[in-house]
């Protein structure tokens, strides 16, 4: 019995069971997150047509824009397609986008920044915690899909901001002008702003984690902080990455001027780029090309028809962080600006086109980011059955069953001894 019960305890121990505890804690002050905004259109058409220096790549981009195909398949055309054409031919709009993006990424970093939308003209108003802010409070980085992106409260050049109150009055409030007339159809078939709310140490990926905000609306985003703590192997699969490991597994460290650390998404994008370089000898335009993490310094981008397959064995190197801070969001919106208030934007000197009231609403939006309350949620995963618990249980089983066995043994010895005495007495009586 002791052996069987002890074996069950050992088997249970090697399942590495865990507990997940969720707690809600109130703070008098909360660290405000980083807020990344990008125009969904990466290249400003007016800036592209009036460059300071006309390069061969720029000329090819303009030519590609002018001859962008418009492939539309009507309902009656579906049956005319050959069966093996499905999933074999790249979509025409996607092909045009990738062609322009490949040419765009071959421009220098300064040229890409020049031809994108500028925060000086895109931002009409900035207020944080009842105080005015400016483009100087934003950090710049380039995103391959959305072009120029800007991060408020990145912590790169200024101390990270905090807030002592909840509600929209004490958060970040932005009024933005999207410059709709400068959109390029093959690069942006929608209009608005892409926003991501994240921790300062995480590389922002608005194309993956962001939200799309459309013009003509006031977008209110209430946020809550969530702290996640995970266990390392064997109770979990998280890892505590050093600075050297971050540099080796995160190509974005060398390409942006932000205080970023390791993240699972950045690691997987870096590994995918490595695979592309290994298989094709060129770089995928969506991911960093020149960095220490890509092993070599590459400057040639792949033709849009080249793709690595979906399998990537290097993903095993990418694990979740053991301690991570994320933000949950709730978004609400209403029409903005109102008709009386809209006249302010028709007359705004930052807006470079003569809009009437209707087209003005199609070009401006308002964004509010704030804490719903000063509580943060903690999700802690911890082991529930450690080695000391196993030894204690085995000891308890041994103590219980061996104790009973010893008592039984003495009782058996006593029984034998009593039988012997009884036999001796009977023998004496016969004599």
Is 331:219 a contact under the CB 8 Å cutoff? Answer: yes
Residue 227: predicted pLDDT: 94
Q: Is the pLDDT of residue 106 over 80?
A: no
Q: Residue 72: pLDDT above 60? A: no
Whose structure tokens read 């915690």? 129
CB atoms < 10 A from the CB of 141, how many? 21
How far, in Å, CA of 342 to CA of 332, rounded?
20
Task: Report percent pLDDT > 90 for the chain.
Answer: 36
Indicate the pLDDT class of residue 308, thresholds 50, 70 and 90.
very low
Mean pLDDT of the region 174-183 = 91
How many other CB atoms sit within 10 Å of the CB of residue 423?
A: 10
Given a contact cutoff of 8 angstroms between Cβ atoms, the answer to whether 124 and 210 are in contact is no
Q: Taking Cα atoms as reference points, which of 237, 256, 268, 202 lies closest to residue 34? A: 202
Least-confidence region, from 174-188, 336-350, 383-397:
336-350
Confidence of residue 275 (pLDDT cuts 50, 70, 90): confident
Contact in structure between 415 and 423 (CB atoms under 8 Å): no
d(CA 361, CA 176): 11
| Predicted confidence (pLDDT) at residue 333 exceeds the cutoff of 70 | yes
Q: 90-99, 183-192, 212-221, 330-339: which range is least confident on average?
A: 90-99
CB 276 within 8 A of CB 282: yes
pTM of the model: 0.81
Q: What residue ranges define each of the domains in the chain, with the CATH number in brackets? A: 2-16+391-430 (no CATH), 19-55+107-238+321-383 (2.60.470.10), 241-319 (no CATH)
Q: In this predicted structure, what is the pLDDT of residue 107? A: 79
Alpha carbon separation from 347 to 124, 350, 351 (Å, rounded): 12, 9, 8
Q: What is the pLDDT of residue 10?
A: 75
d(CA 146, CA 405): 76
pLDDT band at 254 (very low <50, low <70, confident <90, very high): confident
| Cis preceding linkage at 234, omega within 30 | yes
Side-chain half-sphere of 321: how many Cα atoms within 13 Å?
19
User: Which range is least confidently modeled, 48-62, 230-244, 330-344?
Assistant: 48-62
The model's pLDDT over 114-172, given as tens digits with 9 standing for 90+, comes to 889 999 999 999 999 999 999 999 999 999 889 999 999 999 988 999 999 999 889 99
User: Are the C-beta atoms of residues 94 and 145 closer than 8 Å to each other?
Assistant: no
More confident of the two residues 159 and 84: 159
**Residue 423 confidence (pLDDT):** 78
176: three-class secondary structure by DSSP = strand
Distance CA 404, CA 411 (A): 11
- Residue 302 in contact with residue 276, Cβ under 8 Å? yes
Between 250 and 409, the higher pLDDT residue: 250
Q: Sign (positive/negative) of CA torsion 245, 143, 153, 192? A: negative
The residue among 153 and 281 whose pLDDT is bigger is 153
| Per-residue pLDDT, 236 | 85
């Amino acid at each position: 019995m002791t052996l069987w019960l002890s074996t069950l305890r050992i088997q249970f121990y090697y399942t590495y069971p865990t507990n997940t505890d969720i707690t809600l804690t109130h703070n008098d002050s909360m660290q405000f997150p980083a807020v990344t905004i990008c125009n969904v259109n990466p290249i400003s058409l007016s800036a592209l047509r009036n460059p300071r220096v006309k390069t061969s790549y720029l000329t090819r981009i303009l030519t590609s824009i002018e001859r962008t195909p418009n492939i539309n398949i009507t309902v009656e055309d579906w049956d005319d397609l050959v069966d093996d054409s499905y999933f074999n031919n790249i979509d025409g709009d996607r092909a045009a986008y990738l062609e322009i993006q490949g040419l765009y990424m071959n421009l220098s970093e300064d040229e890409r920044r020049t031809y994108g939308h500028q925060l000086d003209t895109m931002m009409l108003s900035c207020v944080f915690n009842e105080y005015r802010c400016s483009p100087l409070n934003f950090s710049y980085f380039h995103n391959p899909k959305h072009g120029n992106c800007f991060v408020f409260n990145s912590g790169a050049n200024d101390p990270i901001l905090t807030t002592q109150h909840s509600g929209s009055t004490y958060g970040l409030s932005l009024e933005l002008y999207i410059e709709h007339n400068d959109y390029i159809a093959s690069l942006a078939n929608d209009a608005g702003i892409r926003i991501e709310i994240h921790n300062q140490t995480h590389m922002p990926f608005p194309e993956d984690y962001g939200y799309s905000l459309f013009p003509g609306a006031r977008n209110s985003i209430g946020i809550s902080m969530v702290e996640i703590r995970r266990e390392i192997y064997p109770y979990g699969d998280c890892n505590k990455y050093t600075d050297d490991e971050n540099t080796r597994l995160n190509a974005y460290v060398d390409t942006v001027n932000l205080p970023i650390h390791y993240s699972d998404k950045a690691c997987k994008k870096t590994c995918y780029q490595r695979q592309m370089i290994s298989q094709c000898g060129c770089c995928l335009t969506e991911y960093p090309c020149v960095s220490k993490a890509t092993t070599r310094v590459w400057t040639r981008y792949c033709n849009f028809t080249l793709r690595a397959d979906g399998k990537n064995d290097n993903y095993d190197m990418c694990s979740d962080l053991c301690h991570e801070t994320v933000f949950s969001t709730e978004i609400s919106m209403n029409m903005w600006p109102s008709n009386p208030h809209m006249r302010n934007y028709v007359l705004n000197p930052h807006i470079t086109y003569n809009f009437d009231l209707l087209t003005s609403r199609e070009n401006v939006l308002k964004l509010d980011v704030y804490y719903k309350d000063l509580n943060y949620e903690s999700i802690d995963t911890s082991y529930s059955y450690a080695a000391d618990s196993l030894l204690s249980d085995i000891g308890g089983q041994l103590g219980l069953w061996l104790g009973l066995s010893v008592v039984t043994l003495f009782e058996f010895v006593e029984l034998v001894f009593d039988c012997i005495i009884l036999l001796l007495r009977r023998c004496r009586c016969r004599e």
